[in-house]
Amino acid sequence: MGVPLVANYYLTYRCNARCHFCDIWALEPKKEADFETIKKNLHDLKRLGVKYIDFTGGEPLLKAEAPQIYAEAKRLGFTTSMTTNTILYPKRAREMQGLVDFLNFSLDGGDAETHNQSRGVAIFDTLVESVKLAKELGEYPVLNHTVTAQNFNRLDEVAKLARDLGARVWMNPAFTAYSNYNSKKNPNAEMVQKIEEVARKFGSVVGYNKAALAFIEAGGNDTKNPRCKAVDAVIAISPNDELLLPCYHFAQKGLPIAGNLYDLYRESEEVEEFRQSQGQLSVCEGCTVWCYLIPSFFKGIDKYWVLNSVTYVGEFLARKRFLAGV
């Protein structure tokens, strides 16, 4: 058994937006773990060798204890990330200052009408305010744009907005998990070509994962020769303190953690069963769920490992150039 690289820690399933491509906000509410429970899990994640934690949701800033959770993660030496719809960011930005290494603001369009329609709430002005505030606080906000078959022809508008705001935008292809997008149209080869075209045109303003685009062109995960290592590479934890197997999006089982994450992940027969079948279940065919596949690409040396590595080296250099104003 190898060392897991990433924890996808779902702090809450609650959300104050109503995005048309996501139904997490419609999930039945469950009792959420308290800070002490999360703190114990963070210590076990450290023991397991995890380096990077994506605290996610739902909307992570709806979790009242978010600043304490991030502070504990930073104290333990984790690299942290957060993607927020920005509704609460202006109110909580100073609480979170310096605690988030990768701060992502969701962006669904290059203008207020498009963004608000996609989000189901009028929050474009809050997004613009959040970018300005984050930069004033010395943060490095990145606009996270989900590219779909419905919007890929308007990527130039998104890149122009990012440039005008003095921020970078990450072009993230929609993945085949949410029911509204689970069709042969998402993602597609035209989408790949458009992302690459816009990235060439706008330079360091636009970022994307080269391995992800190559994986789309290959047709996604092949259950007969799986590239997904969701159980080996990622530990997924639910808001109600369960280990989700094999991943959140296609969870077949949630194992109660109850203060025993370290031993549960290493010794449970059920975890081992899912480890042996990772990427091979019927629901895994054609999968492109990037929050599990991107870490998987670092497990095993092949073209996806190379492209993934090139992406992150390039992202590091692009950040340096962007911050230097080049």
Q: How confident is the model at residue 171 (pLDDT cuts 50, 70, 90)?
A: very high
- The Cα–Cα gap between 255 and 272 comes to 13
Domains of the chain plus CATH, in order, are: 6-323 (3.20.20.70)
The percent of residues above 70 in pLDDT, for the chain, comes to 93
Read off the pLDDT band of 24 (50, 70, 90). confident
Distances in whole angstroms, Cα of residue 319 to Cα of each of 141, 160, 205, 207, 326 = 11, 18, 9, 10, 10
How many whole angstroms separate alpha carbon 166 and alpha carbon 169? Answer: 10
Token readout for 17 is: 């937006």
For 247-279, the pLDDT digits (tens) are 998 888 999 999 999 999 999 999 999 999 999
Asked if 150 and 117 touch (Cβ cutoff 8 Å), the reply is no
Q: Which range among 12-21, 60-69, 152-161 shows the weakest confidence by mean pLDDT?
A: 12-21
d(CA 181, CA 183): 6
* Burial class (CB within 10 angstroms; exposed 0-12, middle 13-18, buried 19+) of 225: exposed
Two tokens, residue 308: 């993934």
**215-236 pLDDT tens trace:** 999 999 999 999 999 999 999 9
User: Would you state the pLDDT for residue 186?
Assistant: 60
* Residue 161: pLDDT band with limits 50, 70, 90: very high
What is the average per-residue pLDDT within 94-108?
96
Average pLDDT value for the chain: 91
Distance separating alpha carbons of residues 160 and 178, to the nearest angstrom: 28
Position 68 pLDDT exceeds 80: yes
Structure confidence at residue 318 (pLDDT): 74
What are the distances in angstroms from CA 211 to CA 50, 141, 227, 322? 22, 23, 12, 22
Q: How high is the pLDDT of residue 120?
A: 85
Predicted confidence at residue 9, as pLDDT, reads: 98
Q: Residue 56 has which token pair?
A: 């996610």
Q: How far is CA 188 from CA 78, 150, 182, 286, in A?
A: 34, 11, 12, 12
Residue 34 contacts residue 12 (beta carbons within 8 Å): no
- Mean pLDDT across the stretch 182-205? 82
